[in-house]
Amino acid sequence: MGQSGRSRHQKRARAQAHLRNLEAYAAQPHSFVFARGRVGRSVQQLSMDLRRVMEPLTATRLQIRKKNSLKDCVAVAGPLGVTHFLIVSKTETNVYFKLMRLPGGPTLTFRINKYTLVRDVVSSLRRHRMHEQQFAHPPLLVLNSFGPHGMHVKLMATMFQNLFPSINVHKVNLNTIKRCLLINYNPDSQELDFRHYSIKVVPVGASRGMKKLLQEKFPNMSRLQDISELLATGAGLSESEAEPDGEHNITELPQAVAGRGNMRAQQSAVRLTEIGPRMTLELIKIQEGVGEGNVLFHRLVHKTEEELQAILAAKEEKLRLKAQRQDQQAQNVRRKREQREAHKKKSLAGMKRARAEADGDSDAEDPGAPPEAERTSQQEEEEDEAEYFRQAVGEEPDEDMFPKAAKRRRPTGPPGKKQRLKERKPDRGSDRRPQKAKGKGPGAQAKVGPRGAARNRGQGRPRPLKRAA
């Protein structure tokens, strides 16, 4: 069996073609169409109809919320490759339409004197023609009467031309042109007529019966004896089914167009059907930036040269103060960052020092206690042992037994007073008497003081009594 799938060269060619298509799509102009503020249902629907006109090079499901500002839209538009904003707004008196070029402007503000929605246009037609395949490609832009009427008119024409991709008349495919956008300029009233049409190409030179056969739906021929009756007389057809054609819409096709009978180098008629929306626009002003900046043109307000110079000076002063505030803010941010870094380092050092004092340095080797501390601890231990020997035996230990222990001297009271030693109480339940002190004769007796301390006669140092067994 042969190898299934595409070859390596086919995959490479397909990947390159896909990359070229992506580059071509990114090079085309894209737009955002939305409404700003409280506009009402009609104006909101007008913005949706404008979005329909700009398809497919627009965001069809774009949603703008009340809290989103124009700066947010501009920030989002940059990474997405959006080049134009079409904004519809409404005031108490008028409806306005703004056309913005991103990212640096200009901004054209139009006043919408009249408008008609798509649903109203379609309902007024006896037979409308609109389907989804028409919106798979951008419309064909037609500008009329944009002559030498001033720089503002020329700028308007350039802005409308840049809304849609350019067309190469030698390489264009006629099957991709299904719609037409007509913008007509009236020099007398200085208004723009905005119209949107659907394009249909039909062959000419055939009878009405032949045209009916070429359509998708065949006529009812149940009352005819032969098909020749349909072709010859056009029986059973109404006069409205055939639109009048003339020299104004008949042309020779340079290439074949989708449809029955539209062959190359054959005469065909181009028919337009309005699908809406419909607007009458009036240019109010042109600004230099995106929604702000110097006013390049204003139809209602005219200023002198001195006023323009004063406005420019005030704007320059405003920009200077803004730059100064930005520098001061940058310095404050840098200073606070340095303070935070210094505080962070100081806190980390303190935490490390506290941890080292609490737990010790686990990485370093323990050097042990200093020699002086060792000698002091040993001396204290021997002193404790010597004290225990004194209490147990009742005599001072020899110097050889605890050499490091300091010789303890018993406190001596004032002269004439004898030392008292507490007598240990015998165990309960024992009937034995405490033994007599050693080293005395039979006549020596032990005296018991008032506090129960036993003293030996002839001895200066008292001895502890031995516990009875």
pTM greater than 0.95: no
CB 406, CB 378: distance < 8 Å:
no
Range from 47-61, 127-141, 262-276, 431-445 carrying the lowest mean pLDDT: 431-445
Number of separate domains in the chain: 2
d(CA 197, CA 203): 19
CATH of the domain at 120: 3.40.50.10480
Handedness of CA 414, 417, 419, 422 (dihedral sign): negative
Of 458, 365, 358, the residue nearest 418 (C-alpha):
458
Q: Determine, yes or no, domain membership for 228.
A: yes
Per-residue confidence (pLDDT) for residue 442, from 0 to 100: 47
Going by pLDDT thresholds of 50, 70 and 90, the confidence category of residue 317 is: very high
Amino acid 166 reads S
pLDDT (tens digit, 9 = 90+) per residue, 286-313?
999 898 888 889 988 888 888 888 888 9
β-strand partners of 455:
447
How many CA within 13 A on the CB side of residue 359? 10
Give the DSSP letter of residue 264: T
- Claim to verify: residue 35 and residue 151 sit in the same structural domain: yes
d(CA 349, CA 260): 87
CB 258, CB 268: distance < 8 Å:
no
Diameter of the chain measured on Cα atoms:
176
Range from 111-125, 200-214, 249-263, 407-421 carrying the lowest mean pLDDT: 407-421
Token representation of residue 159: 């802005």
d(CA 398, CA 129): 129
Q: Determine, yes or no, domain membership for 112.
A: yes
Per-residue confidence (pLDDT) for residue 211, from 0 to 100: 61
pLDDT (tens digit, 9 = 90+) per residue, 138-175?
999 999 999 888 899 999 999 999 999 998 888 899 88
Give the structural domain span for 282. 9-233+245-302
- Claim to verify: residue 132 and residue 255 sit in the same structural domain: yes
CB 53, CB 181: distance < 8 Å:
yes
Q: Who has greater pLDDT, 33 or 434?
A: 33
Start-to-end CA distance of the chain, whole Å, equals: 112
Of 246, 224, 245, 244, the residue nearest 233 (C-alpha):
224
Collapsed DSSP state (helix, strand, coil) of residue 261: coil
- Claim to verify: residue 265 and residue 177 sit in the same structural domain: yes
Rounded to an integer, the average pLDDT of 347-372 is 73
In this structure, the number of other CB atoms found within 10 A of the CB of residue 165 comes to 14
pLDDT (tens digit, 9 = 90+) per residue, 365-376?
555 556 666 667
- Claim to verify: residue 260 and residue 326 sit in the same structural domain: no
- Claim to verify: residue 226 and residue 312 sit in the same structural domain: no
